[in-house]
């Protein structure tokens, strides 16, 4: 009777028993199964690579369940052996009350915070060539760096925002680091906040419906511009998602994750790559020109929308961006 009266009085002031937050067994089970579902979607479907905004929805849901877990248990779920770890694809928790040091649990047991910067002092940009995704050199010692401090290759920036799975697969395919290495997790988690903080305002502004007068201006603009000039003069009101969709569409052809017979014309198999025939030369030239063209388009978009860019090296300035550095031996 007394307990019932207390609960009734508490409800009048907006309070409820903590145990009411448990449902269908308990909050720990709900959080664990949510994470199990995220892992299944990420590993067994292409949904999150095709519709990246769902990652944010799932991350927010995870944060909400973590907050409920804390309300029930007065501790965070990292200490609970019956709740699996937060899937790395969700990135760090953004709950304001969540201890920042606990976000390092996203690295697996082999990982160390800032491991992506461990070989920074050893990398020599003066000796490096510029690749599509990174600076690199090959010889007795191999090395690469994904961008520079505060400067991101435009392909990497778009990949981090709109095509993370494609980007990580391409980076692991083209480097000496395994896809499952904690270095990738460390590097992504170190940069997500900086990238999204820089890009999100423009992404939101250019995701809204374009007013009629701007839409007509866009149509008139492109009607009067030669094809060869389009990449140089992308209009400031072109939508971010439109630009990135076009960019990733071209990359799917010129830089496929796995070169198969379907992409043989764009990226010749190894057996043909070094045959100096007229056909192979033409195909490689066309592929290279397509990549140059789409990168110029993307850099122009960022420049026209107020970003500081390095047009020669195709870099976009993102304050607090941290490269991933790797130095290794030839036999790697």
Give tens-digit pLDDT for 35-55.
Answer: 999 988 888 888 877 777 788
Same domain, yes or no, for 294 and 145? yes
Whether 146 contacts 134, CB under 8 Å: yes
Q: Structurally, how many domains does the chain consist of?
A: 2
Average pLDDT over residues 48-68: 84
pLDDT at 203: 55
Q: Does the pLDDT of residue 305 top 60, yes or no? A: yes
C-beta pairs of 124-129 under 8 Å, 24+ apart in sequence: none
Q: How confident is the model at residue 238 (pLDDT cuts 50, 70, 90)?
A: low
Name the pTM for this structure: 0.58
Mean pLDDT confidence for 123-145: 86
Asked, for residue 239, whether it belongs to a domain, the answer is: yes
Same domain, 86 and 149: no
Q: Are residues 174 and 300 in the same domain?
A: yes
161 is a domain residue: yes
* In-domain check, residue 134: yes
Is 74 found in the same domain as 21? yes
* 83 inside domain: yes
DSSP 12-46: HTT---GGGG--SS-HHHHHHHHHHHHHHHHHH-S
**Domain co-membership, 47 together with 72:** yes
CA distances from 21 to 18, 28, 293 (A): 6, 10, 54
Among candidate residues 58, 74, 106, the one where a domain is terminated = 106
The answer as to whether 111 is a domain residue is no
Please check whether residues 96 and 139 belong to one and the same domain: no
Residues 197 and 275 in one domain: yes
* Distance separating alpha carbons of residues 106 and 98, to the nearest angstrom: 14
In this model, does residue 76 exceed pLDDT 70?
yes
Best-predicted range by mean pLDDT (79-88, 141-150, 234-243): 141-150
The whole-angstrom separation of Cα 187 and Cα 178 is 14
Q: Is 112 part of any domain?
A: no
Residue 170's pLDDT is: 82
Please give the pLDDT value at position 131: 86
**Structural domain harbouring 40:** 2-106
Average pLDDT, the chain: 74
Q: Are 295 and 254 in contact (CB under 8 A)?
A: no
- pLDDT single digits (tens) 90-113: 877 878 788 866 765 554 433 456
Alpha-helix residue ranges (DSSP H) falling in the chain:
2-12, 27-44, 47-50, 53-73, 154-162, 164-173, 182-205, 212-223, 240-254, 270-273, 278-304
């Amino acid at each position: 009777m007394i307990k019932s009266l207390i609960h009734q009085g508490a409800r009048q002031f907006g309070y409820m028993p903590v145990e009411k937050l448990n449902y269908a067994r308990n909050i720990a089970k709900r959080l664990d199964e949510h994470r199990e579902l995220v892992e299944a979607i990420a590993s067994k479907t292409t949904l999150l690579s095709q519709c990246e905004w769902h990652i944010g929805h799932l991350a927010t849901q995870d944060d909400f369940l973590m907050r409920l877990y804390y309300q029930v248990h007065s501790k965070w779920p990292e200490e609970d052996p019956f709740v699996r770890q937060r899937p790395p694809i969700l990135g760090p928790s953004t709950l304001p009350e969540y201890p920042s040091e606990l976000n390092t649990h996203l690295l697996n047991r082999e990982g160390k915070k800032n491991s992506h910067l461990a070989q920074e002092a050893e990398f020599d940009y003066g000796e490096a060539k510029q690749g599509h995704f990174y600076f690199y050199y090959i010889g007795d010692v191999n090395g690469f760096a994904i961008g520079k401090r505060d400067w991101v290759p435009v392909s990497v920036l778009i990949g981090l925002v709109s095509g993370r799975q494609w980007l990580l697969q391409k980076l692991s395919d083209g480097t000496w680091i395994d896809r499952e290495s904690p270095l990738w997790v460390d590097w992504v988690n170190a940069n997500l906040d900086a990238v999204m903080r820089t890009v999100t305002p423009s992404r939101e502004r250019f995701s809204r419906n374009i007013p009629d007068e701007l839409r007509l201006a866009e149509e008139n603009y492109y009607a009067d511009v030669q094809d060869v000039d389009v990449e140089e003069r992308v209009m400031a009101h072109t939508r971010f998602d439109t630009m990135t969709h076009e960019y990733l569409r071209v990359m799917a052809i010129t830089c496929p994750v796995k070169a198969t017979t379907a992409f043989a014309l764009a990226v010749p198999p190894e057996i043909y790559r070094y045959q100096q025939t007229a056909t192979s030369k033409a195909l490689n030239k066309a592929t290279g020109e397509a990549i140059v063209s789409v990168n110029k388009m993307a850099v122009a978009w960022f420049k026209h929308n107020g970003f500081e860019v390095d047009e020669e090296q195709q870099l976009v300035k993102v304050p607090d961006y941290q490269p991933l550095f790797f130095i290794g031996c030839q036999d790697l």
